[in-house]
């Protein structure tokens, strides 16, 4: 073997050849449709990979998808309690190199992140840090994201529950994903061009923004529910007078992300949704008792669902009918408020059994479903009656008995509702029209139940929040996995289960178990055609905010007695500066641009012992500021495996003693 080893190979030429091949392949990555093999191959580790091998998508997926549906629809029976769902792994299998049909966005609970998954494969595609810091993406390490997190309160974690996609005309428009932070009362926006968090608002006057949604059909407002009742303002007054605590419904502007106004109400606020016409935001609630412990909070048989008349509230704000607390106009929406007297109260209080948890409006916008949680029923509210009638009792259109512990409801777009049953560990499918026509507490509208494992919270079907859901897939987000996976110590994963629902004409079928890291609450799915993420940064998007450092701009500029600005480009396999010198005690601002034009070549910047960690995607610039307080030599290295000479991609920071 040794005699065959070529001795006259120029390593630089080999590397150059590989990188040219890589460039050629990556340059065509944006084309989503496979073409006839175009002869471009990438030689690595002795393998010849054609472009087709790397980029299989399209027609083949469609054909397999249809075949999959046909085999899926053979489950027997339509109205049985099905404990024996079989797993058909192949049904949701997406072959290597092919794409999923849907993007799924999962909230990460108290991990503070969003997870992006492909549906139906359930493959994790990406994580988007939001309220957490994340080394792999340099989030919370560069100046920009650090400042954003600091300005939003400087908390180091968040508890994100309810992701929501921006809508235009009742459909996902692919611009933004929003999510709440229950822990620190914040709302964040993720730019879906770059899949990055671009704004976080710390909502004044509230603790625990729990219920959260965007306004349908056009996202003109974001709505967040303050779940915990507190004194207003919470500045040391009324400490032990719970009867004076209040909770607030907040409206934000999705563009400026400013808190526009708030409405104070009696009792807690929990989950909410809006109608499809831009008038009502409807919120579930518990603790109408105004208690501070669990016995007190669950004492009464009914709590008050609240329907907020958004245009009427906006009118009250415009007319100056508010008090201002911490810079936010607060409108009085309590039951005794003058604004709630007369025929057009700004908030309607609808008695509902018992500690109801969710509100989810069905795709036609006719009904809102309120799951009873401690009552085995779902209360159906007729939204049109809400508009016409000031008698809350008239608004209730039906109340099917779905099972124990109903929490959340989702839709297939064909007249069926699917409700998660936390206590029964089941999903109940029921017929909406039949439930409206049936007597209250009837089980007749229930078509079918399927066991899930175990204790589901949210469930979500694909495109379920649009006016025109797709059906096909439903995910049950189960809180407990118990014995379903290899044990991993005392903290178990949650279990997200994929259920095939077709168009609602067939039995539900459990297709896959999927362990998830703690602790998603909710998810939302958009068809892949509704998103158009950038493959590389468009530098005009940050022009004027931060520089674009060309190779020739690389250098060190002293900006003060104790401050320097270091600018460097980065590309395979070198930084624009192979070394730079600063003085002990200097405040160093390091600006790095990735000048690569091809997708998927990210460069990192790590400086040992200075907590510096940047991740810079092609055509992007990131900056970090730190104090060079320890004299010595510090290697600067690239953290992303970007080329054959990735390990050699280095610079040196020399910190001269003062």
First to last CA, the chain: 56
Q: What is residue 288's three-state secondary structure? A: coil
Q: Nearest-CA neighbor of 203 among 162, 252, 243?
A: 252
Give the integer Cα–Cα distance in Å for 227 and 265: 11
Interaction of residue 640 with ligand CUA, rule CB under 6 A: yes
Contact of residue 521 among ligand RUQ, ligand CUA, none (CB under 5-8 Å per partner type): ligand RUQ
- Environment class of residue 218 by beta-carbon count within 10 Å: exposed (0-12), middle (13-18) or buried (19+)? middle
* Residue, CB closest to ligand RUQ: 457
Cβ at position 109, least distance to ligand RUQ in Å = 8
Phi, psi of 506 (to 5 degrees): -115, 170
Cβ at position 408, least distance to ligand RUQ in Å = 6
Candidates 131-139, 217-225, 506-514, 639-647: pick the segment binding ligand CUA (CB under 6 A).
Answer: 639-647
Give the integer Cα–Cα distance in Å for 43 and 30: 21
Interaction of residue 186 with ligand RUQ, rule CB under 6 A: no
485 vs 635, beta carbon nearer ligand CUA: 635
Q: Nearest-CA neighbor of 305 among 255, 359, 229, 382?
A: 359
Interaction of residue 603 with ligand CUA, rule CB under 6 A: yes
Contact of residue 401 among ligand CUA, ligand RUQ, none (CB under 5-8 Å per partner type): none
Give the integer Cα–Cα distance in Å for 551 and 534: 24
Contact of residue 210 among ligand CUA, ligand RUQ, none (CB under 5-8 Å per partner type): ligand RUQ
Give the integer Cα–Cα distance in Å for 637 and 609: 12
Residue 106 in contact with residue 516, Cβ under 8 Å? Answer: yes
Site string for ligand CUA, 191-220 (x = CB under 6 A): ------------------------------
Contact of residue 622 among ligand RUQ, ligand CUA, none (CB under 5-8 Å per partner type): none
Interaction of residue 614 with ligand CUA, rule CB under 6 A: no
Which parts of 137-166 interact with ligand RUQ (CB under 6 A)? 161-162
- The correct pick among 186, 210, 229, 500 for binding ligand RUQ (CB under 6 A) is 210
DSSP letter for 192, please: T
Q: Using omega within 30 degrees of 0 as the cis cutoff, is the peptide bond preceding 573 cis? A: yes
Site of tokens 């999903």: 427
Residue 525 in contact with residue 474, Cβ under 8 Å? Answer: no
DSSP per residue, 504-559: TTS--EEEEEEEESS----EEEEEGGG----SS--GGGSTTTS----GGG-EEEEE
Contact of residue 514 among ligand RUQ, ligand CUA, none (CB under 5-8 Å per partner type): none
Q: What is residue 658's three-state secondary structure? A: coil
Contact of residue 640 among ligand CUA, ligand RUQ, none (CB under 5-8 Å per partner type): ligand CUA
26 vs 407, beta carbon nearer ligand RUQ: 407
Contact of residue 276 among ligand CUA, ligand RUQ, none (CB under 5-8 Å per partner type): none
Please give the size of the binding site for ligand RUQ, defined by CB under 6 A: 9
Contact of residue 646 among ligand CUA, ligand RUQ, none (CB under 5-8 Å per partner type): ligand CUA
Interaction of residue 104 with ligand RUQ, rule CB under 6 A: no
Give the integer Cα–Cα distance in Å for 214 and 286: 22
- The correct pick among 636, 638, 653, 655 for binding ligand CUA (CB under 6 A) is 638
Contacts of 605 (CB under 8 A, 6+ apart): 570, 575, 590, 592, 612, 613, 614, 616, 622, 624, 636, 638, 639
Interaction of residue 575 with ligand CUA, rule CB under 6 A: no
- The correct pick among 222, 339, 407, 582 for binding ligand RUQ (CB under 6 A) is 407
Interface with ligand RUQ (CB under 6 A): 161-162, 210, 357, 407-408, 457-458, 521
Interface with ligand CUA (CB under 6 A): 603, 638, 640-642, 646, 649
């Amino acid at each position: 073997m040794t005699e065959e080893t070529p001795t006259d190979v120029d390593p630089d030429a080999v590397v150059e050849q590989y990188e040219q091949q890589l460039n050629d392949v990556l340059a065509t990555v944006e084309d989503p449709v496979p073409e006839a093999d175009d002869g471009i191959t990438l030689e690595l580790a002795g393998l010849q990979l054609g472009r087709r091998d790397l980029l299989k998508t399209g027609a083949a997926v469609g054909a397999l998808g249809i075949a999959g549906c046909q085999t899926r629809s053979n489950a027997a029976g339509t109205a049985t309690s099905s404990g024996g769902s079989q797993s058909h792994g192949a049904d949701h299998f997406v072959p290597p190199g092919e794409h999923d049909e849907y993007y799924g966005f999962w909230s990460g609970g108290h991990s503070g992140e969003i997870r992006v998954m492909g549906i139906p494969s359930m493959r994790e595609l990406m994580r988007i840090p939001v309220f957490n810091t994340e080394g792999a993406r340099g989030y919370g390490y560069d100046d920009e994201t650090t400042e954003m997190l600091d300005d939003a309160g400087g908390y180091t974690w968040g508890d994100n529950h309810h992701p929501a996609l921006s809508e235009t005309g009742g459909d996902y428009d692919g611009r933004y994903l929003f999510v709440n932070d229950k822990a620190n009362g914040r709302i964040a926006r993720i730019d879906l061009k770059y899949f990055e968090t671009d704004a976080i608002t710390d909502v004044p006057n509230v603790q625990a923004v729990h219920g959260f949604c965007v306004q349908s059909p056009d996202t003109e407002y974001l709505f967040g529910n303050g779940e915990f009742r507190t004194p207003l303002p919470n500045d040391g007054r009324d400490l032990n007078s719970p009867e004076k605590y209040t909770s607030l419904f907040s409206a934000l502007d999705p563009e400026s992300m400013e808190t526009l106004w708030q409405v104070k109400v009696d009792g807690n606020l929990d989950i909410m949704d809006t109608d499809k016409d831009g008038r009502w935001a409807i919120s579930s609630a518990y603790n109408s008792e105004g208690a501070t412990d669990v016995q007190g909070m669950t004492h009464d048989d009914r709590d008050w669902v609240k329907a907020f008349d958004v245009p009427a509230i906006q009118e009250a704000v415009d007319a100056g009918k508010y008090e201002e607390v911490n810079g936010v106009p607060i409108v009085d929406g309590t039951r005794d408020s003058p604004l709630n007297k007369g025929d057009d109260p700004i908030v309607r209080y609808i008695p509902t059994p018992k500690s109801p948890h969710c509100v989810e409006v069905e795709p036609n916008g006719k009904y809102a479903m309120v799951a009873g949680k401690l009552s085995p029923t779902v209360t159906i509210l007729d939204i049109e009656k809400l508009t016409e009638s000031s008698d809350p009792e008239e608004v209730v259109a039906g109340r099917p008995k779905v099972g124990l512990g109903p929490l959340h409801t989702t839709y297939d777009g064909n007249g069926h509702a699917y409700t998660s049953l936390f206590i029964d560990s089941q999903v109940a499918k029921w017929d909406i029209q039949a439930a409206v026509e049936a007597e209250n507490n009837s089980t007749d509208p229930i078509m079918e139940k399927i066991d899930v494992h175990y204790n589901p919270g949210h469930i979500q079907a694909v495109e379920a929040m649009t006016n025109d859901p797709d059906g096909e897939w439903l995910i049950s987000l189960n809180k407990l996995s118990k014995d379903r996976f290899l044990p991993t110590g005392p903290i178990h994963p949650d279990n997200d289960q994929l259920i095939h629902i077709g168009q609602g004409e067939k039995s539900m079928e459990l297709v896959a178990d999927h362990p998830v890291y703690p602790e998603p609450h909710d998810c939302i799915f958009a068809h892949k055609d509704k998103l158009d993420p950038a493959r590389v940064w468009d530098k005009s998007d940050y022009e004027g905010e931060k520089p674009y450092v060309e190779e020739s701009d690389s250098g060190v500029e002293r900006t003060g007695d104790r401050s320097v600005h270091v600018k460097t480009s980065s590309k395979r396999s070198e930084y624009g500066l192979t070394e730079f010198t600063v003085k002990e005690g200097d405040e160093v601002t390091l600006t790095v641009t990735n000048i690569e034009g091809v997708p998927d070549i990210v460069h990192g910047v790590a400086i040992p012992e200075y907590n510096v960690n940047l991740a810079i995607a092609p055509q992007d610039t990131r900056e970090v500021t730190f104090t060079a307080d320890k004299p010595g030599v510090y290697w600067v290295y690239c953290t992303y495996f970007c080329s054959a000479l990735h390990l050699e991609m280095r610079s040196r920071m020399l910190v001269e003693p003062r």
